[in-house]
Structure 1
């Protein structure tokens, strides 16, 4: 059996600006956000750290790698979905202009994406490609990926073959740490969820 790969996904901590649709909007972390991420990482040891290029992920990952003397790999595949015209808007603001838009999106993100947004199929494919690239030539390693809630949900949908709408039922709070272990016995890949721990 090929040695298993352990992959930890850390959602970024609280970001400045409050609660709104923050996809590619590049807000920095709050002090609380930094604490949430450090608290989850604790004494964790990883062979490699990979992160989204957005500041709320990259700033912590860079600081962590400097402390641990690790090289940081910045990978666009792990960016959050681009919400298009919803970027920077709260649910209430979106509802004022388009009362049924949010409900339609969560019921069918493929058919009813936000205006001018990255399409959900393209987003999901990007995450799948990132996942496959992550697992290549990494046997026996323990990896940390610093990323976003939407990415982690899309990964759940891919790994466990669930509809995208079902993945929206998974809460991924700020600083949440999720671990998958991947086994390959030569007959195919088996992925196990080890834990999904809120910050």
Structure 2
């Protein structure tokens, strides 16, 4: 048997599903129910969030006492088994394979075509160097972008060569002597 009224925190809303004006009342009822669910569930969540730590602890302990009482009614052997499972330590998190993050970064940077050198620091360095040679010089944004592209291409090719030197020495990590050897082979004396 269906109730003829809904009570929502002291507010009554008549259910007129069967009878005259059913279409309008169903729509109004659905709107009311939606409003009730969203607003009052939100206020309930906010009340819970404002709840003090002491009240939360009391509620938690009350729940635990009820479960303890139920578990102890199982008998001493089952209760001991249950206690043993509660005191068991959590498993250590599963370790990731080596170099996973490095390979993910390599894939990410291979997919993107964005510049790896940050724009603002690079622009600052270029402008400082320009001011050192001739005060009052300005540079266009397009020229700055071209310089940044060229600088990045130079750095990448230099690191590729030093990586080849590194592989030749049967190592994995690039060292300063690999960079120096790569530059010397290329003919860069500066």
- If the TM-score is normalised by the length of the shorter chain, which range does it land in? under 0.3
Q: TM-score, normalised by structure 1?
A: 0.20
Choose between structure 1 and 2: higher strand proportion: 1
- More contact order relative to length (CA 8 Å, sep ≥ 6): 1
Q: TM-score, normalised by structure 2?
A: 0.21
